[in-house]
Structure 1
Amino acid sequence: MKKLSQKNRTHLYLLFIVTVVFIWSLIKPASYSSWALEVVPALIGLIIVIAIYNRFRFTTLSYTIMAILAILMFIGGHYTYSKVPLFDWIKDYFDLKRNHYDRLGHLLKGLAAIVVREIILRKTPLTVGGWLFSIVTSIMLAISALYEIIEWLAFKISKGGKVTQGFLGMQGDEWDAQWDMSLTLMGSILALLLLSRVHDRLLKEIKK
């Protein structure tokens, strides 16, 4: 039996943690319908990543980011984004107007810029530089805008039902979509500025 490398073990640990959180999120969520809307996109992404693991293996940094984002979505799906207990406590303690878990989630979704960056660097002729930064940032903003459109369509189709209200997590803010896109853009820029050098080193190890 072939011994697993340290990287492979790390990837398995990440998958195990994500699986445990997924199972937890499935047990008595606030609403199974809302849970499905929040969790299914992450679940589809994970299935794809697992399916292509032997053909296209991402860096451990990218897998870690995927795990973080999946866990964020599973937690949000379990409680709904507007009712995550820790952020309800923060809201009450600091006398805030809303539960900010949704805001944090959209900011951290900007970490996915590293995953997009990796796909572009490994699958296209584009190299490190200003164009890469601009294109990755634009793609992340486009993905964020697409997600907001999907949320809007879900709201329209359900005619503003309770399930989609939980899915949207607007909490009465008419500018929620703009906030979400702005935070994802900000998160993407920060991720590229802070993690690109580490990412480049990991990519060089793959090419060895």
Structure 2
Amino acid sequence: MIKGKSNTIHLFLLLFVTAVFIWSMIKPVGRYLTWTLEVSPAVVGMIIVIATYNKFRLTTLSYTIIAILAILTFVGGHYTYSKVPLFNWIKDVFDLKRNHYDRFGHFLKGLFAIVIREILLRKTPLTKGPWLFAIITSISLAIASLYEIIEWLVSKITKGGKAAKDFLGTQGDIWDTQWDMSFTLVGSILTLLILSKLHNRLLKKKH
């Protein structure tokens, strides 16, 4: 019964993410090249999740986090991260210097720490404790750093064209890369502190 309920939730998450993806690709604000660059990590991630679903099924918490991050990426891809309407409104109301959707996105990417945690606990000899916490945090920061390197490479390859500038989304902030990685680091630490106990209970139910 629980397994059947989980499958239903997983299917709903997949359908919802697919619907947002379709919406995202319809007349995006930026160029389609920018849109492709923005959404490709989430698309690749979804393909991997679907391909491994029967062989290595994650907890519903992990799938929910993956869905949230995919939706976040598709929304950012549709508007470009510097032009998401809600955060433009926040920018105007609070007289901010930039649209902070990308900061918000990098902070929420810290949620992926739970997915990393699940893979490590289930596929490696690592056990719960300080070392697990440190390794997960390090991997999260490494992924955030890799993404920034990819952004830099795209900018170099395209010679800083408009699509690349929209993809980078620095909005004139010379410390944008450092801020993005820092927000992911903080998000990862908070995620592990807040959700680890819930994740442990879900892992026990799964086995």
Q: Same fold (TM over 0.5)?
A: yes
User: Could you tell me how far 1:156 is from its partner in structure 2?
Assistant: 1.0
1:155 equivalent in structure 2: 155
Q: What percentage of residue pairs aligned between the two structures are identical?
A: 71
- Cα distance in 2, alignment partners of residues 99 and 109 from structure 1: 18
Question: Deviations for 1:37-90, whole angstroms, at most 9, x for unmatched residues?
Answer: 011110011011001101000000000000000000000000000000110011
Q: How does 1:189-208 map to 2 (within 5 A)?
A: 189-207=189-207
Q: How does 1:87-126 map to 2 (within 5 A)?
A: 87-126=87-126
Question: Deviations for 1:15-37, whole angstroms, at most 9, x for unmatched residues?
Answer: 11101100000100022111100
- Cα distance in 2, alignment partners of residues 198 and 159 from structure 1: 46
- Cα distance in 2, alignment partners of residues 47 and 144 from structure 1: 20
Equivalent residue letter for 1:26: M
- Cα distance in 2, alignment partners of residues 141 and 81 from structure 1: 21
Question: Deviations for 1:148-198, whole angstroms, at most 9, x for unmatched residues?
Answer: 011011111111110011101100000000000000000000000000000
Q: Does 1:173 align with 2:177?
A: no
- Cα distance in 1, alignment partners of residues 94 and 202 from structure 2: 40
- Cα distance in 2, alignment partners of residues 28 and 20 from structure 1: 15
Give unpaired runs (5+ residues) of structure 2. none
1:56 equivalent in structure 2: 56
User: Could you tell me how far 1:206 is from its partner in structure 2?
Assistant: 1.1
- Cα distance in 2, alignment partners of residues 108 and 169 from structure 1: 17
1:139 equivalent in structure 2: 139
- Cα distance in 2, alignment partners of residues 52 and 94 from structure 1: 44
- Cα distance in 2, alignment partners of residues 165 and 106 from structure 1: 18
Equivalent residue letter for 1:132: L
User: Per the alignment, in what secondary structure is the counterpart of residue 160 of structure 1?
Assistant: coil
1:5 equivalent in structure 2: 4
- Cα distance in 1, alignment partners of residues 145 and 99 from structure 2: 22
User: Per the alignment, in what secondary structure is the counterpart of residue 5 of structure 1?
Assistant: helix
Equivalent residue letter for 1:18: V
TM-score normalised according to structure 1 size = 0.97
- Cα distance in 1, alignment partners of residues 132 and 11 from structure 2: 30
User: Could you tell me how far 1:93 is from its partner in structure 2?
Assistant: 1.0
RMSD: 1.3
Q: Does 1:27 align with 2:17?
A: no
- Cα distance in 1, alignment partners of residues 73 and 168 from structure 2: 13
User: Per the alignment, in what secondary structure is the counterpart of residue 56 of structure 1?
Assistant: coil
Equivalent pairs counted in the alignment come to 206
User: Could you tell me how far 1:121 is from its partner in structure 2?
Assistant: 0.2
User: Could you tell me how far 1:133 is from its partner in structure 2?
Assistant: 0.1
